[in-house]
Amino acid sequence: MRGTLYHYPHSTSQYQSDLQSFKDGAMLIKDGKIADLGDFSALKATYDDVEVVDYSGRVIIPGLIDTHLHFPQTEIIASYGEQLLTWLDNFTFPAERQFEDADFANTMADAFLTECLKNGTTTGLVYSSVHKVATEALFEAASQRNMLTVAGKVCMDRHCPDWLQDTPESAQRDSADLIDRYHGKGRNYYALTPRFAPTSSSAQMAALGELAQQYQDVFIQTHLSENHDEIAWVKTLYPQCEDYLAVYEKYHMVRPRAIYGHCIHLSDSEWQRMAASGAIAAFCPTSNLFLGSGLFEMSKAEKFGVPVTLATDVGGGTSFNLLRTLGEAYKICQLRNYS
């Protein structure tokens, strides 16, 4: 495959100096994997008997990684006119109810992953619905495409419609079964997924915390400090905890491989503790703007040393396209006087 190549040859935080590029580059694909890359002339001389797919004049980059998005919200992307908590009630929960049906879940898993790939996203950290069958559908569809997928069944046993509630016991049982069946199988990985602190009781959080301790290599994903009303609500539900992050700390969920969506309104103490834990913040700019949640503080993340990833947060986010999402992230950083 010939074209202009950009990539990082190794994991780095020195993004400008470590970027490698080949203006007239080539990638050798063998058995569906990248076997070699470099200057076209050098690779052509080494592999002179291979077919050349010529994308000269076009840019080839690695597949994009979306670190926070909701597959059951595909059909309600950018639904009009609410802030977070009422948006959940009026749009999200009714949409997610449909995923109890296996045929519907299978159809939507195909549509969701197709849309991801159309936009260059080859890896996602994905929230399913509360339904185990929907999570199975997502993993199976991802396996058919050989996509790297980190996903989890959403767990919530209160403050949502009865028809979307699980229990502490079923959340733990279903999550454990999905871990055993999918985590580390092929390119699938599991994420324990309490939706957010308000929709999980103390008993459910404790049950998921037990799994977090038992399975140290699984991921954890949830929401943190997205909206001022949400933060105030958490304080009433968990008055014994000093702040929002402390709720997750209490249940052993703040650690490496934990990815927290939004993190807009964190205190300095929360930033410090996140940094010490190895947890990650997922920056969701289009969603934060669309729902009026606030402006992420990249300068705080940098100051305290919290790793930050980019995420669309479909369907509160308004596009599957991470490059468009990056453009909105730039604007938020400008509004925060960070550049």
136 CB-contact burial (10 Å; exposed 0-12 / middle 13-18 / buried 19+): buried
Same domain for 51 and 167, yes or no, is no
- Tell me, yes or no, whether 71 and 132 share the same domain: yes
Sheet harboring 2-7: ordered strands across? Answer: 33-39, 20-30, 2-7, 54-60
Q: Do 307 and 175 share a domain, yes or no?
A: yes
Are 255 and 261 spatial neighbours (Cβ–Cβ below 8 Å)? no
**Residues 201 and 228 both lie in one domain:** yes
200 and 296 share one domain: yes
Query: Which residues is 34 bridged to in the sheet?
Result: 29
- Please give the tally of structural domains in the chain: 2
SS3 call for 153: coil
Of the three residues 45, 60, 75, the one that is the final residue of a domain is: 60
Mean pLDDT for the chain overall: 96
- Are 164 and 312 in a shared domain? yes
pLDDT at 81: 65
Predicted pLDDT at 84? 77
Judge if 54 and 70 occupy the same domain. no
> What's the rounded Cα separation, in Å, for the pair 126 and 85?
20
Instruction: State how beta strands 20-30 and 2-7 pair.
Output: antiparallel
pLDDT of residue 163: 95
52, 75: one domain: no
The helix (H) or strand (E) run that includes residue 191 is strand 188-194
Predicted confidence at residue 117, as pLDDT, reads 98
Q: What is the pLDDT of residue 79?
A: 73
Model pLDDT, residue 76 = 85
| Cα 139-137-82 angle, rounded to 5 deg | 100
H or E segment to which residue 298 belongs: helix 298-304
Question: Does 7 share its domain with 97?
Answer: no
| pTM more than 0.85 | yes
pLDDT in 10s for each residue of the chain, 339 residues: 999 999 999 888 888 889 999 999 999 999 989 999 999 999 999 998 999 999 999 999 999 999 999 999 998 887 776 777 787 888 888 889 999 999 999 999 999 999 999 999 999 999 999 999 999 999 999 999 999 999 999 999 999 999 999 999 999 999 999 999 999 999 999 999 999 999 999 999 999 999 999 999 999 999 999 999 999 999 999 999 999 999 999 999 999 999 999 999 999 999 999 999 999 999 999 999 999 999 999 999 999 999 999 999 998 999 999 999 999 999 999 999 998
Task: Quickly tell me which residue has 């050798």 as its tokens.
Answer: 28
Q: Are residues 9 and 54 in the same domain?
A: yes
Q: What are residue 5's DSSP bridge partners?
A: 22, 60
Considering the domain architecture, whether residues 84 and 142 belong to the same structural domain is answered as: yes
Domain of residue 288, CATH code: 3.20.20.140
Return d(Cα 108, Cα 137) in angstroms, integer: 9
**For position 80, what pLDDT does the model report?**
76
Instruction: Give the integer Cα–Cα distance in Å for 182 and 241.
Output: 34
Domain that holds residue 46: 2-60
Q: Are residues 51 and 88 in the same domain?
A: no
Q: What is the pLDDT of residue 27?
A: 96
